[in-house]
Amino acid sequence: MKKKITTFEAFKNEVLSPDERQILARRTEQICRLIDLKQKSDESKITFVEEEKTDNIDQSK
């Protein structure tokens, strides 16, 4: 039975050819850019709501 390896392990252990490494690096970069764009668009939609804080300390003394 073949052992499954992660993409990172393949990259680290040089199981991938140089072309495959380049493609993977480019795709990873694109994904990171998309995540950054999504986070920036999400940040503009964020509204902060102040939560009411309650202490669980008995103050009837």
pLDDT in tens, the chain (61 residues): 567 767 667 666 667 788 888 888 898 899 888 888 888 777 666 566 666 655 555 555 5
Place of tokens 């300390």: 57
State the Cα–Cα distance between residues 11 and 3, nearest whole angstrom: 16
- Helix spans in 1-61 (H): 7-12, 18-45
